[in-house]
Amino acid sequence: DAKTTQPTSMDCAEGRAANLPCNHSTISGNEYVYWYRQIHSQGPQYIIHGLKNNETNEMASLIITEDRKSSTLILPHATLRDTAVYYCIVRSNSGYALNFGKGTSLLVTP
Amino acid sequence: NAGVMQNPRHLVRRRGQEARLRCSPMKGHSHVYWYRQLPEEGLKFMVYLQKENIIDESGMPKERFSAEFPKEGPSILRIQQVVRGDSAAYFCASSTADHTGELFFGEGSRLTVL
């Protein structure tokens, strides 16, 4: 599976949009982009995933560039409860494991 | 609809003892994954099981660790002769289908080895 690169940490003001970038320049055609988050001491939580097209659900939006070498997770109105480590994972659907890297530690401030 | 249930949530063992961690997947899920998270580190994949079968154990330490998912009952992660380095949070996840990246995680079992 392709490797991903994310900033170590980011801050966001409560109520503003949080835009979390992820680089995956070696992604191949059959690999999906997944986003998970882990709130302190809890189990990871699935957020969203996509292949080529932008995706939106009740939690977030995922914007994937046309060349698929990078993506951005958008939390449209961040709340204090969105403070967590966010993981961008690239995975093909022929594999089994999700490989979590170090992620981005997002701090939402009042 | 209950989520993934793990127990015990906290377990304390002395060096050399055995630790057994249990995971009941979500209703309707027949695929189970185990991950380990050492203090201040990321999650590391350990093993992927379906009912009565180990599909991928590429992340399991070669010794002392084993996992099973019997036809009836929860999945079990067993650690024999625990050492201090085994102290970690162990997370179980389940899914409905093979090759899906949408996993549902439990709250974890925190093992402390004295």
Give the tens place of pLDDT for each residue, B8-17.
999 999 999 9
Q: Which of A42, A53, A50 is nearest to A83 (CA)?
A: A42
pLDDT average, residue stretch B44-60 = 93
Q: Is B33's pLDDT higher than 90?
A: yes
Question: Could you give the maximum distance between any two Cα atoms of chain B, in Å?
Answer: 38
Give chain A positions within 8 Å (CB) of B39: none
Q: What is the pLDDT of residues A15-28, one digit of tens each?
A: 999 999 999 999 98
The DSSP bridge pattern shows strands A55-56 and A70-75 to be unpaired
For residue B2, name the pLDDT band (cuts at 50, 70, 90).
Answer: confident
| Contacts A–B by Cβ distance under 8 A | 58
Closest residue, chain B, to A33 (C-alpha):
B101
| A2: pLDDT strictly greater than 70 | no
Q: State whether residue B84 is helix, strand or coil.
A: helix
**Residue in chain A nearest B43 by alpha carbon:** A100
